[in-house]
Amino acid sequence: MSFILVDYDAPDRDLQIGNRYWHPIVTEIRRAKLLPDEKAEKIAYNLCERLDKEEVLRIARHLRKEGPATSLAQALGSDVFNLIVDFIEESNGLEIC
User: For residue 94, what pLDDT band results from cuts at 50, 70 and 90?
Assistant: very high
User: What distance in Å separates the CA atoms of residue 69 and residue 44, rounded to the nearest whole number?
Assistant: 24
Q: For 58-70, what is the mean pLDDT?
A: 84
Give phi and psi for 64, each to the nearest 5.
-65, -45
* Tens of pLDDT, residues 24-59: 999 999 999 999 999 999 999 989 999 999 999 999
* Tens of pLDDT, residues 9-29: 898 999 999 999 999 999 999
Q: pTM of the full predicted structure?
A: 0.91
pLDDT at position 39 is: 96
Task: Break the chain into its structural domains and give their ranges.
Answer: 2-96
User: What distance in Å separates the CA atoms of residue 1 and residue 22, rounded to the nearest whole number?
Assistant: 10
Count other C-beta atoms under 10 Å from residue 18's C-beta: 11
In this predicted structure, the answer to whether residue 65 has a pLDDT above a threshold of 80 is: yes
pLDDT at position 69 is: 63
